[in-house]
């Protein structure tokens, strides 16, 4: 990517660069911290390695432990050295890529401890925390040229509110970091750092899930992998101004991919728990619930970006250039629907703009989905029908909650297909069980009927 900056834009870049020099100096310091960490914390210390709990699903043989800590030592020294080099190279307003190189190295730091199955909790804590700090000071704090123009209005054309406002993003950021904290806790057990794991709802359900054959089939800790995704979602929610739907289209779309498609994958894995493992993970359900809310609150910003790019194409503008560097759409407005944190009257309500008109019928369908998920326990169902109840119950909850978002309200029609399946599935998957058949038919009919009502749309969304 390249852009020919005007003289005024170059002066603006220089001003922003001068304000953010301190952040780049912190990046260099963090690189030095990484280089010295293996020696400061004794990664290869015999005393430290003897104190490691023999729990979780990580390899526990002495040869692996020694090799893993040696690789972690090399990783931190090499990564820290590269961070310092790129940190010094970023001390100019003319270069963008060194800051991105630091961000890529930061992502590696999230992967390294789980890729090597690091037996030291100190190295896992150090690498993941330094990773977050590097992304913060290399990308989030300084304003980079890719953020695009600062001219123009906040609210997309034809929209009644700004989907990129900080209050709109705040719940997504909070749920992202909540998922990060919980996933790190589960990863700590899988990697052998703690000797027990707690489940708020299902007794030893979490233990059974994170030590199951399904979890062990992953080449790395699946909880650690989830922690990486949640950390990136939380951090990406923090980047960009209230105009990022038009100044950083590419960034918002990547953020949307992390939240929506990867969110569905996370939810799918939770659906598989009772089928493959025969147990529910309570903490996994908490993170999946947060992910559903994140999807419902993120999808409007993604829609705004897609509309903006579509309008640019209709106007025969350079969409590729606008995709990377942003632009100023015709018809955008700037009013009070970009709320500020300093406005206490709108704080909570503004977080939910786009989802405030939750239809009662979609609340009912979500509750029906929970009932279906509980069906195997209530009716003592086993086999394929039990698996069907678990999957389609969770899918009903997922579709219902995402459809609370006004821009995704049409997704509710998927419930018709689920309802029809619920009506016919008892006769296909099992022998005659009168109570189960009656329950399934009632549930199916309810889903079909309730899915037709759209509910009130209180906001405007352009085209």
SS3 85: helix
User: What digits encode the pLDDT tens for the residues 230-286?
Assistant: 999 999 999 988 889 998 999 999 999 988 887 888 888 888 888 888 888 999 999
Q: In terms of domains, do 258 and 290 share one?
A: yes
Q: In terms of domains, do 197 and 334 share one?
A: yes
Q: In terms of domains, do 10 and 125 share one?
A: yes
Domain count, the chain: 3
Q: What is the pLDDT of residue 2?
A: 45
Q: What is the mean pLDDT of the chain?
A: 87
Question: Within a domain: residue 136?
Answer: yes
User: What digits encode the pLDDT tens for the residues 395-446?
Assistant: 999 999 999 999 999 999 999 999 999 999 988 887 767 888 899 999 999 9
Q: In terms of domains, do 1 and 63 share one?
A: yes
Higher pLDDT among residues 194 and 109, named by residue: 109
Asked if residue 134 has pLDDT above 80, the reply is yes
Q: In terms of domains, do 309 and 176 share one?
A: yes
Question: Within a domain: residue 460?
Answer: no
Residue that is last in its domain, among 112, 147, 182: 147
Q: What is the DSSP string of 18-66?
A: HHTHHHHHHHHHHHHHHHHHHHHTTTT-HHHHHTS---SSS---HHHHH
Question: Within a domain: residue 196?
Answer: yes
- Close Cβ partners of 333 (under 8 Å, ≥ 6 residues apart): 153, 154, 155, 157
Identify the burial level of 7 via C-beta atoms within 10 angstroms of its C-beta, where 0-12 means exposed, 13-18 middle and 19 or more buried: exposed
* pLDDT range class, residue 448, cuts 50, 70, 90: very high
Q: Is the CB of residue 113 less than 8 Å from the CB of residue 124?
A: yes
Question: Within a domain: residue 244?
Answer: yes
Q: In terms of domains, do 137 and 157 share one?
A: no
Q: In terms of domains, do 51 and 63 share one?
A: yes
User: What digits encode the pLDDT tens for the residues 278-304?
Assistant: 888 999 999 999 999 999 999 999 999
* pLDDT range class, residue 36, cuts 50, 70, 90: very high
Question: Distance (Å, rounded) from C-alpha 439 to C-alpha 423?
Answer: 9
Asked if residue 171 has pLDDT above 50, the reply is yes
Q: What is the pLDDT of residue 3?
A: 52
Q: In terms of domains, do 1 and 138 share one?
A: yes
Question: Within a domain: residue 457?
Answer: no
Determine which of 183-197, 318-332, 397-411, 432-446 has the lowest per-residue pLDDT on average: 318-332
Q: What is the pLDDT of residue 62?
A: 77
The percent of residues above 70 in pLDDT, for the chain, comes to 90
User: What digits encode the pLDDT tens for the residues 152-167?
Assistant: 678 898 899 999 988 8
* pLDDT range class, residue 336, cuts 50, 70, 90: low
Residue that is last in its domain, among 307, 324, 353: 353
Q: What is the pLDDT of residue 214?
A: 83
* pLDDT range class, residue 1, cuts 50, 70, 90: very low
Question: Within a domain: residue 462?
Answer: no
Question: Within a domain: residue 216?
Answer: yes
Q: What is the pLDDT of residue 284?
A: 92
Asked if residue 12 has pLDDT above 70, the reply is no
Higher pLDDT among residues 242 and 128, named by residue: 128
Q: In terms of domains, do 86 and 221 share one?
A: no
Q: In terms of domains, do 211 and 286 share one?
A: yes
- Close Cβ partners of 4 (under 8 Å, ≥ 6 residues apart): none
Residue that is last in its domain, among 308, 326, 353: 353
* pLDDT range class, residue 335, cuts 50, 70, 90: low
Q: In terms of domains, do 441 and 385 share one?
A: yes
Q: Is the CB of residue 119 less than 8 Å from the CB of residue 65?
A: yes
Q: What is the pLDDT of residue 180?
A: 95
Determine which of 50-54, 98-102, 196-200, 379-383 has the lowest per-residue pLDDT on average: 50-54
Domain assignment of residue 84, given as a range? 1-147
Best mean pLDDT range from 17-26, 181-190, 341-350: 181-190
Higher pLDDT among residues 337 and 7, named by residue: 337
For residue 388, give the nearest of 369, 367, 403, 401 by alpha carbon: 369
Q: What is the pLDDT of residue 423?
A: 94
Q: In terms of domains, do 384 and 348 share one?
A: no
């Amino acid at each position: 990517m390249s852009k020919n900056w005007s003289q005024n834009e170059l002066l603006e870049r220089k001003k922003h660069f001068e304000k953010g020099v301190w952040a780049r100096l912190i990046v260099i310091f963090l690189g030095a911290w990484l280089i010295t960490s293996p020696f400061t914390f004794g990664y290869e210390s015999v005393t430290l390695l003897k104190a490691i709990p023999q729990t979780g699903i990580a390899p526990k043989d002495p040869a692996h432990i020694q090799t893993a800590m040696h690789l972690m030592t090399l990783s931190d020294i090499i990564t820290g050295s590269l961070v310092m080099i790129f940190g010094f190279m970023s001390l100019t307003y003319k270069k963008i890529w060194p800051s991105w190189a630091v961000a890529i190295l930061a992502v590696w730091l999230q992967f390294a401890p789980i890729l090597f199955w690091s037996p030291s909790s100190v190295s896992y804590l150090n690498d993941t925390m330094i990773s977050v700090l590097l992304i913060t000071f290399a990308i989030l704090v300084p304003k980079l040229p890719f953020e695009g123009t600062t001219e123009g209005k906040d609210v997309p054309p034809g929209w009644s509110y700004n989907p990129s406002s900080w209050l709109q993003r705040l719940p997504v950021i909070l749920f992202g970091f909540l998922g990060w904290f919980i996933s790190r806790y589960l990863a700590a057990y899988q990697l052998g750092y703690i000797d027990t794991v707690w489940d708020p709802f299902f007794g030893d359900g979490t233990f059974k899930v994170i030590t199951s054959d399904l979890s062990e089939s992953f080449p790395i800790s699946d909880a650690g992998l989830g922690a990486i995704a949640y950390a990136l979602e939380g951090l990406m929610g923090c980047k960009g101004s209230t105009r990022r739907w038009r100044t950083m289209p590419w960034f918002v779309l990547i953020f949307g991919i992390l939240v929506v498609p990867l969110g569905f994958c996370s939810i799918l894995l939770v659906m598989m728990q009772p089928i493959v493992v025969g147990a529910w993970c309570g903490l996994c359900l908490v993170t999946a619930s947060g992910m559903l809310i994140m999807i419902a609150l993120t999808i409007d910003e993604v829609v705004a970006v897609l509309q903006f790019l579509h309008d640019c194409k209709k106007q025969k503008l350079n969409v590729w250039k606008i995709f990377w560097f942003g632009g100023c759409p015709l018809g955008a407005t700037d009013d009070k629907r970009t709320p500020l944190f300093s406005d206490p009257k709108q704080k909570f309500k503004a977080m939910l703009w786009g989802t405030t008109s939750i239809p009662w019928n979609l609340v009912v369908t979500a509750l029906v989905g929970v009932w279906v998920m509980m069906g195997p326990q209530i009716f003592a169902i086993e086999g394929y029908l039990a698996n069907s109840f678990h999957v389609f119950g969770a899918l009903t909850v997922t579709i219902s909650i995402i459809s609370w978002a006004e821009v995704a309200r049409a997704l509710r029609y998927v419930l018709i297909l689920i309802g029809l399946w619920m009506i016919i599935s008892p006769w296909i998957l099992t022998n005659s069980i009168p109570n189960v058949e009656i329950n399934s038919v009632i549930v199916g009919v309810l889903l079909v009927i309730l899915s037709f009502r759209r509910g009130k749309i209180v906001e405007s969304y352009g085209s």
